[in-house]
Every structure is written in C-alpha cells, then in structure tokens.
Structure 1
Amino acid sequence: MAPGTAERLFSDGQRARLAAIARTDPELVAHDLHDPGYAAALADAEVLLTCWGATPLTPEVLARAPKLRAVVHAAGSVKHHVTAACWDRGLLVSAAAGANALPVAEYTLAAILFAGKQVHRAARRYRELAGGDHDWRTELHSSGNYRRTVGIVGASRIGRRVIELLRPFDVRVLLYDPYVSRTEAALLGAEPVGLTELCARSSIVSVHAPQLPETRHMIGAAQLAAMPDGATLINTSRGSLVDEAALLPHLRTGRLDGVLDVTEPEVPVAGSPLYDLPNVLLTPHLAGSFGNELHRMAEHALDELERYADGTPFTEAVHSDALGHSA
C-alpha cells in the first residue's frame, strides 16, 4: 500500500477484527514488495490485502510468494497491480468496487440536484449582487429538477447506482452504454440512446464509463457542441474521457457549466483556467472513498477475508475476462 494508507483505512476495531480473522502482523505494511525486508512475510503469505499504491504483482514478485493463493483489494480497480501473471497463477482476486462506488454515486447525485437547481450559479450571482434587491424569479426561471433530463454515460457499477439513487426524483434518465440492451436499460429505469443524442437532450450529463483506449475523449467536440446552452457536464470517472481542449471554450463563454472531480492531467497544470472559471466546480478527485468512507472498503475486505477463510466464494470476485471493459 502507499505510505499512510493503512493508517487511514482501518479503524481500531477493524484492526482487531483483522487479527482475529488471519494470522498476521497488523503493524506490517509493505509499501514495496521488492524490498528485501518484506521477503520473509511475502514467502509465507497466503493472502495479500492490498489498497491504493500496491506493488504490481509481476512474475518476479510472485516467484517470491510461493504460498500466495488470493488477493483481497480494499479499493476499486485492480488493474494497477493484478497482472497477467496472477491469472496464470490462478489466484483468487476480490475488490471493493461496490463499496467505493457508493460515495461516487452520492457525490454525483448531489451534483445533479445542485446543477438542476442552479445552486452554484445562484450563489455566485448572490455574492456579486451583495444581497441587493433582485428578481430571482426571473434570473432562475429555468432552474429546478421537475422532469429535468439527466444523461448517464456508462452503465458501470457507479452509473447504475446513480440511476438507482435518482429513482425517487421526478427526472427523466437517458443512458448511453453500447453493452446494455434496450430491455436491460428499461429495467434500470433509463431510456437507451446514442451518445450525441444523449448530450443533445440532457441538461445534465454525468460520465461514468471506464477508462479504456476506446473511451478516450468520448465526450468530444461533437458531443459538447450538442449539449444545450446552460447544461452541466459532471465527470467523476477519469479525465481522459473528456476532451478538455474542446470543453474549455464552452466553459470560458459560460455556455456550459462543469463539475469536474477528475481532469487530464490530474492535477491541472498551474494556471489552468479550471481553477478560476466561476462556472466550474473543481474538486480534487474526492468523489470516491475519503475520510471515514475508507472504513467501508476495509469492512468489505474483511468480509471477503472471512469468506476465504470459510472456503466460500468472494462476493465481489474479479475475473480477467471482465477487465477489458471495466475500470
């Protein structure tokens, strides 16, 4: 794990639970499995409990872990450290993608409702007017979430959770995902449409597709131009999915608003207009698990460790054939 991660990941109670589940040293956190100081522990390890910043499990690392049978990841994607050698070895792999999806979906729901209500725009104007006499009924005549159309790009785990969270609200949901049938989309509660049509019909577009070569800049010039004036683009996925060079002119003129939790590059370069544009809410990739939300991922990982110890299947097993179209 990256330095400092384990200290934030586990509560005291969860550390005690880990010690009860497995024969382990709760104080031993390997930041780099190439370090000879971890050689003895690696040679004896049956399960690795990993999180962000884990060492890639290359053939060389696995060769020094002859007893290793499983990897339990207390975070979302395992693409950074679970290599082809792990699948060749037949390792069991679990991830906490579901636990990490919930806070992202919650952030997105809040962003959608605030965008529909034009909260950020109203707050800016309120400050500019210093509370003076003003007819807000005229300026905010287009605000509100009654039958607003929301476009969800990607029926990923997070995208599906966002659709689920939107069900109590009186909004229309459009969905673009080439892997989802019309029937499945209807069951989710969304209308399946093409990507450009989704952008053209939605006053709020939220991106939840995985980062893959084919999804790079999927929200490009044509899609951005199709979005109606005053629409909001929300991106909590990866910065590479949006063509930032094509987006900036729309943001600079104020034609579109942005809620950007991810960018390309991440962090934006010094002097980027994203820092100062009044119609952009820029956050530091915090939609996912942060603060006490890390304990939810830890709890899931401990649940999976218990299942492994009991000889029962993981609830969120990761399979190599699914990684080609997932985060």
Structure 2
Amino acid sequence: MEPSLAPSLLSERTRRRLAQVADCDPDFVAYDFSDDTAVAALGAAEVLLTFWGCPVLDEEVLAAAPRLRAVVHAAGTVKGHVTADCWERGITVSSAAAANALPVAEYTVAAILFSNKRILEVREAYRRVRTEHDWRAAFPEVGNYRRTVGIIGASRIGRRVVELLAPYALDIVVHDPYLSDAEAAHLGVRTVGLDELCETSDVISLHAPELPTTRHLLDRRRLGLMRDGATVINTSRGSLLDQASLTEELVAGRLHAVIDVTEPEVLPADSPLYDLPNVLLTPHYAGSFGNELQRMADSAVEEVARFAAGLPFAHPVSRTELEHTA
C-alpha cells in the first residue's frame, strides 16, 4: 500500500489483532516490490494484505513470491493490482468491498431523502429571503412520500441502498440486466427498462460498474427523458454519465444532481458544477473515510484469520465476477 496510508488503516488495535492471527511484522509496509527488503518479505509471504496503492502483482512479482497463496485486499476493487497471473497461479483473493459499500450506501440514502425534500433549493431561498416566509406555498410539491427512486445497477452498493430505503414510503424501480425476477422479488423492487426508469423516476442513483458497456449509460437522450426537476445521483464512476450533457441540463436548471465522482476525477477549476445551486458536488467522498477505514481493516484481518484457520473467505473475489463488477 501507499506507506502514508498505513497509519489510517492499521490502528494499534488492528496491528495487535493481525499479530494474533499471522506471523508478520505489523510495522513493515511494502510499496516498491523491487526493493530488497520487499523482495525478501515476498519470498516468505503466504498472504498479502493489500490496500490502496498496491503495485501490480504481475508475473515478475509473483515469481519472487513462490509461497504466496492468497491476497486479502482491505478496500474495494482489486482490478488495479490483481492480474491474470494471480488467477493462473491459483491464488485466492478477498476484498473488503462489502465493508466499503456501507458508507457509500448511507451517503446515497441521505442524498435521496434530501433531494426529494429539495434541501439545496430551500437553503438557497432561505439565504435570499432571511425573514418570515410561506415555505409550504413556495415548495408545495416536495417530500419523500410515494416518490419513485430508480436504481441503476443491483450491485453490492445498489442492493444495500434498496435495503436501507425499505422503511420509507418510496417506490423503487431497478434496472440491471443481471438481476433475475426472483432476486428482484426478494429485494422487493420492480425491474424496468432503462428508458422507463429515466422517464418515471424522481431520483435516479447510479450503482453500475465501470465497463465499456456502461460508459455514458446516461447519455444526452436518456437525460432528456428525465422529468423536469428530477435528480441524478452518481456515487459510482464519472464515466457512467455523459458529463457534458448533464452539465447543460444543470446549467439550464432543468435537473438537479448529487455528484461524488466526475470525469476527470478532479474537474477543471472553471467548471460550473462547483457553483450551481442545484448541484451538490463532493470529491469522491462517499466511500470510506476517517474511522470508516477501520471497518475495512477489521474485515481484512478477519479474512486473514479465516485463511489461517483453514476456512474459506467470507468475501471472496472470483475471476468471472470481475468481468461485470467494479
């Protein structure tokens, strides 16, 4: 991992727990696998505990790690470092994606509820008025009762969002080509085509993976299908949205947006999205931050403990799964 990230992930409690379940030096953090110390560690390693910034585990690195049997990733996607060479070696892989999904889902649920309540608009109006005002008359259509929420992607995060929305009187529709009717019934949602979802939803939340087939999933045409005043929430990847077309809609004031990911990841300083009153823009902030990193650390260490005990991973990652997930 990036050495600067180690203190945030590996708390004293985490280091103690790791030392209980594995023969390791909890103070040693490898980043450059060509370094002599790292090469020596690789030679003895049976499990790699990885995090953001882990170098690619290619054929050369694996050749230096003849005893390696597992990679336990204390974050979400493993696409950045787990290679075909790992799968061909029969190395098992685990990820803390389930732990990282929770704060993203919580952020999304808050965004959905605030969007239907028109919090950004009310805030701007209150700033202007600054006195007694008939707010019910000014915003007669706001509220979450029987609003339609469209979820694009029944991913781990998308499903968690659906679960967290269960207590609210919302109508939830989902578009996902991999979601079966039985799974949809179990989730308590109705499956629809993507165009219908765009036409009927008050809020649309993106939870699909970044794949060639999902690029600009919401393009100019589909954005044009959305109701006036509808909200787009993106906590997935910036590439899923046609950002230029969305920006036009937002500048015109026809749509609203909660945007946590963009393309490029940091927008140019002159982007109107920073200042528009109908946009909540955050810097890829929905995922694990602060003490939420400890949830991922706990998940990863428990996976190491399961491996040491000869048990299967609780959160395995398969090669086929990566073909259509983040």
Report the TM-score, using the length of structure 1 for normalisation: 0.98
CA shift digits 1:188-208 (9 cap, x unpaired): 111100111101100100000
Residue of structure 1 in register with 2:276 after alignment: 277
SS at match of 1:128: helix
Q: Give me the whole-angstrom Cα distance separating, in 1, the residues matched to 2:21 and 2:324.
A: 33
Does residue 22 of the first structure (1) align with residue 14 of the second (2)? no
Q: Give me the whole-angstrom Cα distance separating, in 2, the residues matched to 1:87 and 1:65.
A: 14
Residue of structure 1 in register with 2:267 after alignment: 268
Amino acid at match of 1:56: V
Residue of structure 2 in register with 1:103 after alignment: 103
Residue of structure 1 in register with 2:241 after alignment: 242
Does residue 216 of the first structure (1) align with residue 187 of the second (2)? no
Amino acid at match of 1:166: L
Moved over 4 A (4+): none
CA shift digits 1:76-134 (9 cap, x unpaired): 100000000000000010001110000000000000000011111101111122x2232
Percent identity of equivalent pairs = 59
**Contact preservation (8 Å) 1:196, 1:222:** no
Count of paired positions: 326
Q: Give me the whole-angstrom Cα distance separating, in 2, the residues matched to 1:114 and 1:35.
A: 49
Q: Deviation of residue 302 (structure 1)?
A: 0.8
Residue of structure 2 in register with 1:315 after alignment: 314
Q: Give me the whole-angstrom Cα distance separating, in 2, the residues matched to 1:283 and 1:265.
A: 13
Amino acid at match of 2:237: R
Q: Give me the whole-angstrom Cα distance separating, in 1, the residues matched to 2:297 and 2:83.
A: 22
Q: Deviation of residue 3 (structure 1)?
A: 2.9
**Contact preservation (8 Å) 1:200, 1:227:** yes
Amino acid at match of 2:141: S
SS at match of 2:317: coil
Does residue 12 of the first structure (1) align with residue 12 of the second (2)? yes
Residue of structure 2 in register with 1:204 after alignment: 203
Report the TM-score, using the length of structure 2 for normalisation: 0.98
Q: Deviation of residue 186 (structure 1)?
A: 2.0
Q: Give me the whole-angstrom Cα distance separating, in 2, the residues matched to 1:71 and 1:295.
A: 19
Q: Give me the whole-angstrom Cα distance separating, in 1, the residues matched to 2:239 and 2:32.
A: 28
Q: Deviation of residue 4 (structure 1)?
A: 1.5
Q: Give me the whole-angstrom Cα distance separating, in 1, the residues matched to 2:155 and 2:149.
A: 16
Q: Give me the whole-angstrom Cα distance separating, in 2, the residues matched to 1:35 and 1:281.
A: 43
Does residue 291 of the first structure (1) align with residue 290 of the second (2)? yes
Q: Give me the whole-angstrom Cα distance separating, in 2, the residues matched to 1:36 and 1:202.
A: 56
Amino acid at match of 2:226: M
Q: Give me the whole-angstrom Cα distance separating, in 2, the residues matched to 1:117 and 1:293.
A: 27
Residue of structure 2 in register with 1:188 after alignment: 187
CA shift digits 1:202-250 (9 cap, x unpaired): 0100000000010000011111101101111000000000000110111
**Pairing 1:87-126 to 2, within 5 Å after superposition:** 87-126=87-126
Q: Give me the whole-angstrom Cα distance separating, in 1, the residues matched to 2:271 and 2:33.
A: 37
Residue of structure 2 in register with 1:303 after alignment: 302
Residue of structure 1 in register with 2:143 after alignment: 144
Q: Deviation of residue 286 (structure 1)?
A: 1.0
Q: Deviation of residue 298 (structure 1)?
A: 0.3
CA shift digits 1:247-276 (9 cap, x unpaired): 011100111111000000001122111111
Q: Give me the whole-angstrom Cα distance separating, in 2, the residues matched to 1:132 and 1:115.
A: 24
CA RMSD of aligned residues (A): 0.9
Q: Deviation of residue 6 (structure 1)?
A: 1.3
Q: Which runs of 5+ in 1 are unaligned?
A: none
Q: Deviation of residue 10 (structure 1)?
A: 2.1
SS at match of 2:233: strand
